[in-house]
Amino acid sequence: MHQPLTLSAKEAAAELGVSLPTLYAYVSRGLIRSEAPAGGRTRLYRADDVRALVTRRDRPADMAGERALDWGAPVLESAITLITGDGLYYRGRDAVVLAAGATLETVAALLWEVAEAPFTEPPPVLPSPEAGLAALDPLDRLLALLPTAAAGDLRSMNRTPLGLARTGARILRMMAGVLAQARPSQQPLHRQLADAWGVTGEGVDLIRGAMVLCADHELNASAFTVRCVASTGANPYAALSAGIGALRGPRHGGMTARVAALLPGLLTGPDPVQSLSAFLARGEELPGFGHPLYPRGDVRAAWLLRRMAAAWPQDDRLHRALALAKAATDLAGSPPTIDFALVLLADRLGLPAHAPITLFTVGRSVGWVAHLLEQVRSGMLIRPRARYTGLRPG
């Protein structure tokens, strides 16, 4: 029997044995091609891509080790975040719409799905700093203090969903305090950071929106790391510490430091576009531009750049940066990412050097707790197999 070349969304999802949101996530990652038929409104999905994915997933047990965890390969099903290529959605809610007015605590309640509000407890007391920690980078100082905080938090033994969520809320407030070098409070997290940095006016709301947009980004390296640790039954402090360790890498949250090292040089020259052209002509990598999940541009960066332009219409340095972003899109086909937008926000607000990664870390911790909760609820241990490539015995 002749097999159809295309399938409807329901047919494709049924063949894969996944939900429709998971199908759309595969499409956004380029694993399955979709097309809009002439005169039709419903997209169709390439049957050969669907069947290739089924074959790849359902290989015999003796070939299971060949299912490499390459970038973009499906690993786990999740109901937390959907990335479509044109949008970012937290449990079906548009993250850009949420960024317009929601607090990070509101987004946490949405993503964590627990019966009671988790941020109602008094703020935690920061552990006493040990000798030598003052000289550390803020994230390293946080990593050093988390085990001490865990040892003193007996309530973190409560592994009910609400208990885990409340532990997550305490950790988030501790993170904000350590990274902002301020005492944790019951104020909204964006207010704690803004007050510590002396930000007022429009800047406060921009910090809030930026953190909401950083709250989760599906199964990235740090979220997967958190899920692996959580699947072993480890304490939430250990799971989030592992997430921070993954985030620090220059190909993940550490990308903001790479952007911060490049941006001033491009903006201080007589013509930022010419500076960018010379940079590209040398064949150098352009950090902070081009995201594989957003071929038409990172929706998080687009929102934040629009809001900055509206807040500071007369800011010459901002306009130079926006011209630079447009040139990168036109010349290299690489629109700006959230990393570029965070660094530019910190630049225009006069924030400390560690502010972009602080906004990213505190915001993303909300997603980490959501992934921790989802993994604990599943009851599964994450244990991929390796494809052995070394010497064989005998």
Burial per residue of 331-355, b for 16 or more beta-carbon CB atoms within 10 angstroms, e otherwise:
eeebbbbbbbbbbbbbbbbebeebb
Q: 93 by DSSP, 3-state: which?
A: strand
Residues 6 or more apart whose Cβ sits within 8 Å of residue 196:
180, 181, 182
Structure tokens at 102: 């929601």
Query: How many other CB atoms sit within 10 Å of the CB of residue 264?
Result: 12
Structure tokens at 89: 């959605």
Phi-psi group of 184: left, alpha or beta (phi > 0 → left; psi -120 to 50 → alpha; rest → beta): beta
**First vs last C-alpha separation in the chain:** 48
Structure tokens at 72: 């973009």
Given the residues 291, 298, 347, 371, the one annotated as active site: 291
- What distances in angstroms separate CA 140 from CA 125, 137, 183, 224, 225, one per listed residue? 19, 5, 18, 21, 18
- Cβ atoms 223, 369 nearer than 8 A: no
Structure tokens at 326: 């447009």
Give the distance from CA 161 to its chain's centroid.
22
233 burial via Cβ count (<10 Å: 0-12, 13-18, 19+): exposed
- Cβ atoms 97, 39 nearer than 8 A: no
- What distances in angstroms separate CA 97 from CA 45, 212, 369, one per listed residue? 28, 10, 22
Runs of H (alpha helix) within 77-160: 95-99, 104-112, 138-151
Catalytic site includes residue 339: yes
Given the residues 49, 153, 298, 339, the one annotated as active site: 339
Q: How far apart are CA 21 and CA 9, in angstroms?
A: 10
What residues are annotated to the active site?
291, 339
